[in-house]
Amino acid sequence: MSVELPGETPAVPGLRERKKERTRRTIRTEAFRLFREQGYGETTIEQIAAAAEVSPSTFFRYFPSKEQLVVADDLDPPMIEEYRAQPPELSPFLALRNAINAVYATLTPAEVAFEQERQALLYHVPELRAAIGVELERGIDMIAGLLAERTGRSPGDFEIRAAAGALTGAGLAIAMTTPVNNDNVARALEFLDAGMPLG
């Protein structure tokens, strides 16, 4: 992922990039509509492609599988960029809280609802259970890299991996039991930052 340098003018996406993003969004929107109407397991890639008015081969250019259509997290790149922009004196967990706050502040209500629906599908649809382990591993690796970058330590350090695992586990617990929203994520990060006091 490229990160803008101070003073750089953000690149304006060209017509082709905007068209590709529209197609990708349409495929996901139509897929989620079909999942709501007939269930995840009963929805085929061919049905999704037809609803999005693309061919199945076009579907596969955007998503390698139906599972990946749900797993793909579009909030990661902007969250990473915001995290890297946080003041160095902030603790890693509070820096992450601020980054997530900043990203959620840019989302429309429809985009927040989509993210909540995506998380609900990922953690409650039996056919997607196998993807959770892969997603958790990916999340731990990503967060360990960010924590290591901020603290000047190795992503493989025991404490870095443990902190990344705690954060990923907290995210999983939230997604399984409460709505995934800015307030709940911020509350979990503040709890972790405080050392998880229970008494």
**Pairwise CA distance, residues 25 & 62, whole Å:** 10
Query: For 92-105, what is each residue's pLDDT tens digit?
Result: 999 999 999 999 99
Kindly list the domain boundaries of the chain, sorted by start residue.
13-64, 73-199
Say yes or no to pLDDT of 118 above 70. yes
Q: Which residue has the tokens 């890639």?
A: 45
Q: Report residue 178's pLDDT band, with 50, 70 and 90 as the boundaries.
A: confident
Query: For 139-153, what is each residue's pLDDT tens digit?
Result: 899 999 999 999 999
The arrangement of secondary structure in 73-199, i.e. its CATH architecture, is Orthogonal Bundle (1.10)
Measure the CA angle with vertex 175, ends 83 and 139; round to 5°.
45
Q: Would you call 81 exposed, middle or buried from its count of C-beta atoms within 10 A (0-12, 13-18, 19+)? A: middle
The answer to whether domain 13-64 has CATH 1.10.10.60 is yes
**Pairwise CA distance, residues 167 & 140, whole Å:** 8
pLDDT for residue 3: 40
Say yes or no to pLDDT of 6 above 50. no
pLDDT for residue 79: 93
Say yes or no to pLDDT of 1 above 70. no
* DSSP label at residue 105: H
